[in-house]
């Protein structure tokens, strides 16, 4: 019995000692990382606030635009609708740019949408299927939400702004990694200061806790959001696309139908009608928004595809001979490479498209990012001494370990803009130290 008690005491002492040992941090490394966290925050915070606030606004895009577009998209049901082929002729006559696709209506009171262009140059012309009248044209680039999106993605500065946003996104990764280490409790886990901000000390402590605690609990979500945005940037995104191409992990080559052709050898004089194609498209029972893309040139093919972010695995692209209507090829989501699947998943998550839970999660995360950014600014103002920047000081004896160097090299290779900015900052630091030594 005595031996058992002795063993218990020994185990408890051993675990307690090792727990305290493991919880101890390298204080010099902690100060060095805090310094870089501070520098990254000083540069990034104004832009992070813009990104978080515009992200919150853009989440309400559908709610904002729905009532404004109702008169264009909805019609009064009256009698029998005219053929889709006839509607296409009407759309072609009134559209500024020839339509290249039609969206299959899912309700009897919907106007038929004919799409022209792609991406930023996209516009939609709507035809009343009962009267043949054009109910209106919607051009996304002329909308308020398009401006919000441009502000969110490129700060309204075009390609230059896109690179700034990419650079900020890269430094946000550094902020998250360094912030977790700096925040990690060094004297054990406690309710206050870990789960909730401390309120019984001073204002600066409260705002610092609000910043660090909020940042820690949303860090994984922020990483996922960044993963949804970075593949669409200029430099990293371009490298990502190259990697997809080299590893054959993007869309299959037949996804966009450029390598497919209709059989014109024994073909009739004209394509099959859009009404016949709609019957074929409807028979596929695709979920989400279903589009029929028109043939490009006399050898082109009809393509039927669906967009359904809530269930990416249900997305398909099926190609048909434009003259006979024969199915030529069907691409399923499983045919899409793993990198593209991941890219599309994180983008849909980033935009809150997986349903209400995802939308609410993105809204709360964006609000949390805004709150923690403001809390960081307030904490800095309360800490800052007059006529000083308040940059955390690092002991002169501190030497950066090989592990940190390797990590920085990896981040610089993966994120070239981060690597370039890091070289500039290190160069400025080196010049400042040389100048300081020379002045002594």
Residues 174-217 have pLDDT tens digits of: 999 999 988 887 656 666 767 788 887 888 889 999 999 999 99
Q: Which has the higher per-residue pLDDT, 219 or 3?
A: 219
- 252 pLDDT tier (thresholds 50, 70, 90): very high
| 303: pLDDT strictly greater than 60 | yes
Q: Check residue 383 and give its pLDDT.
A: 86
Report how far residue 37's alpha carbon sits from residue 30's, in angstroms, rounded to the nearest whole number: 10
In a domain, 56, yes or no: no
In a domain, residue 374? The reply is yes
Is there a single domain that holds both residue 236 and residue 322? Answer: no
How high does pLDDT run on average in the chain?
88
Residue with more model confidence, 268 or 32: 32
User: Is residue 150 domain-resident?
Assistant: no
Residue 292: in which H helix or E strand, if any?
strand 289-293
Reported as a pLDDT band with limits 50, 70 and 90, residue 222 is: very high
pLDDT for position 115: 96
- Average pLDDT, integer, range 327-350: 96
Tell whether 272 is covered by a domain. Answer: yes
Q: Tens digits of per-residue pLDDT, 50-60?
A: 999 999 999 99
- Does the pLDDT at position 147 exceed 60? yes
Residues 323 and 431 in one domain: no
- The alpha carbon torsion through 266, 269, 271, 273 (nearest 10 deg) reads -120
Same structural domain, 285 and 331: yes
CB atoms within 10 A of CB 259: 10
Q: Of the ranges 18-22, 102-106, 383-387, 419-423, which one carries the lowest mean pLDDT score?
A: 18-22
Inter-residue contact 38 to 391 (CB < 8 Å): yes
26-30, 172-176, 266-270: least confidently modelled range: 266-270
| Mean pLDDT computed over 300-312 | 94
Model pLDDT, residue 301: 94
Last residue of a domain, one of 336, 355, 382: 336
Q: What is the predicted pLDDT for the residue at 190? A: 66
The last residue of one of the domains, among 312, 336, 360, is 336
Pairing of strands 316-321, 123-127: unpaired
Is residue 20 over pLDDT 70?
no
- Whether residue 19 lies inside any domain: the answer is no
Predicted local distance difference test score (pLDDT) of residue 431: 86
Q: pLDDT per residue over 227-244, tens digit each?
A: 999 999 999 999 999 999
Judge residue 190's burial from the number of C-beta atoms within 10 Å of its C-beta, 0-12 exposed, 13-18 middle, 19 or more buried. Answer: exposed
- Pick from 417, 369, 426: nearest CA to 164: 417
Give residue 214's domain range: 25-47+159-250+337-435
Is residue 108 situated within a structural domain?
no
- CA–CA dist 185, 23 (Å, integer): 7
Given this model, what pLDDT does residue 438 score? 72
Report the CATH number that the domain containing residue 305 is assigned in CATH.
3.10.450
Residue 114 lies in a domain: no
- 131 Cβ neighbours under 8 A, 6+ residues apart: 75, 78
Tell me what pLDDT residue 107 has: 93
Predicted local distance difference test score (pLDDT) of residue 187: 56
Indicate if 275 and 419 belong to the same structural domain.
no
Task: Please indicate, yes or no, whether residues 380 and 415 belong to a single structural domain of this protein.
Answer: yes
* Percentage of the chain lying above the pLDDT 70 cut: 91
Least confident interval from 42-56, 247-261, 304-318: 247-261
Establish if 5 belongs to a structural domain.
no
User: Do residues 217 and 354 lie in contact, with contact meaning Cβ atoms separated by under 8 Å?
Assistant: no
Rounded Cα distance, 112 and 124, in Å: 10
Based on the fold, state whether residues 193 and 332 are members of the same structural domain: no
Cβ-proximal residues to 262 (8 Å cutoff; 6+ apart), any chain: 295, 298, 299, 300, 301, 321, 322, 323, 324
Domain boundary among 336, 365, 399: 336
Do 342 and 425 belong together in one domain? yes
Strand partners, 114: 102, 125
**402: helix, coil or strand?**
helix
The domain total for the chain is 2
Q: Please spell the DSSP secondary structure of 322-360, one letter per residue.
A: TTT--EEEEEEGGGS-HHHHHHHHHHHHHTT-S-HHHHH
Same domain, 420 and 290: no
State whether 349 and 403 are in the same domain.
Answer: yes
Within this chain, do residues 346 and 427 fall inside the same structural domain, yes or no? Answer: yes
* Model confidence, pTM: 0.87
Same domain, 184 and 302: no
Q: Clarify whether residues 238 and 198 are in a common domain.
A: yes
């Amino acid at each position: 019995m005595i031996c058992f008690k002795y063993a218990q005491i020994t185990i408890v002492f051993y675990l307690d000692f090792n727990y305290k040992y493991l919880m101890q941090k390298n204080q010099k490394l902690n100060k060095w990382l805090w310094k870089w966290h501070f520098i990254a925050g000083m540069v990034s915070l104004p832009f992070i606030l813009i990104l978080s606030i515009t992200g919150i606004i853009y989440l309400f895009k559908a709610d904002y635009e729905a009532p404004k577009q109702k008169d264009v998209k909805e019609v009064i049901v009256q009698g029998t609708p005219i053929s889709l082929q006839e509607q296409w002729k009407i759309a072609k006559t009134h559209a500024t740019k020839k339509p290249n696709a039609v969206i299959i209506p899912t309700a009897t009171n919907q106007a038929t949408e004919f799409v022209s262009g792609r991406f930023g140059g996209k516009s939609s012309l709507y035809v009343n299927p009962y009267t043949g009248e054009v109910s209106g044209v919607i051009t996304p680039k002329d909308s308020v939400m398009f401006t919000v999106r441009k502000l969110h993605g490129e700060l309204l500065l075009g390609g230059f702004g896109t690179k700034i946003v990419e650079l900020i996104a890269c430094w946000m990764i550094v902020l998250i990694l360094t912030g977790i280490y700096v925040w990690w409790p060094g004297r054990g886990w406690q309710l206050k200061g870990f789960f909730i901000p401390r309120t019984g000390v001073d204002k600066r402590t409260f705002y610092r806790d609000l910043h660090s605690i909020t940042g820690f609990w949303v860090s994984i979500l922020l990483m996922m959001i960044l993963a949804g945005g970075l593949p669409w940037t200029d430099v990293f995104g371009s490298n990502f696309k190259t990697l997809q191409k080299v590893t054959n992990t993007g869309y299959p080559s037949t996804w966009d139908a450029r390598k497919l052709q209709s059989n014109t050898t024994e073909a009739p004089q004209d394509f099959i009608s859009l009404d016949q194609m709609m019957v074929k498209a409807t028979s596929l029972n695709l979920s989400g928004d279903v589009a029929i893309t028109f043939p490009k040139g006399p050898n082109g093919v009809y393509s039927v595809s669906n967009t359904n972010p809530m269930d990416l695995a249900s997305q398909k692209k099926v190609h048909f001979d434009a003259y006979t209507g024969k199915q030529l090829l069907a691409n399923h989501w499983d045919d899409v490479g793993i990198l593209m699947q991941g890219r599309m998943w994180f983008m849909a998550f980033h935009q809150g498209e997986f349903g209400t839970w995802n939308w609410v999660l993105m809204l709360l995360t964006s609000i949390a990012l805004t709150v923690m950014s403001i809390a960081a600014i307030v904490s800095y103002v309360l800490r800052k001494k007059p006529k000083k920047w308040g940059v955390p000081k690092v002991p002169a004896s501190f030497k950066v370990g090989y592990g940190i160097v390797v990590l920085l090299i990896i981040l610089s290779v993966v994120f070239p803009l981060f690597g370039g900015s890091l070289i500039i900052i290190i160069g400025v630091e080196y010049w400042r130290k040389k100048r300081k030594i020379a002045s002594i």
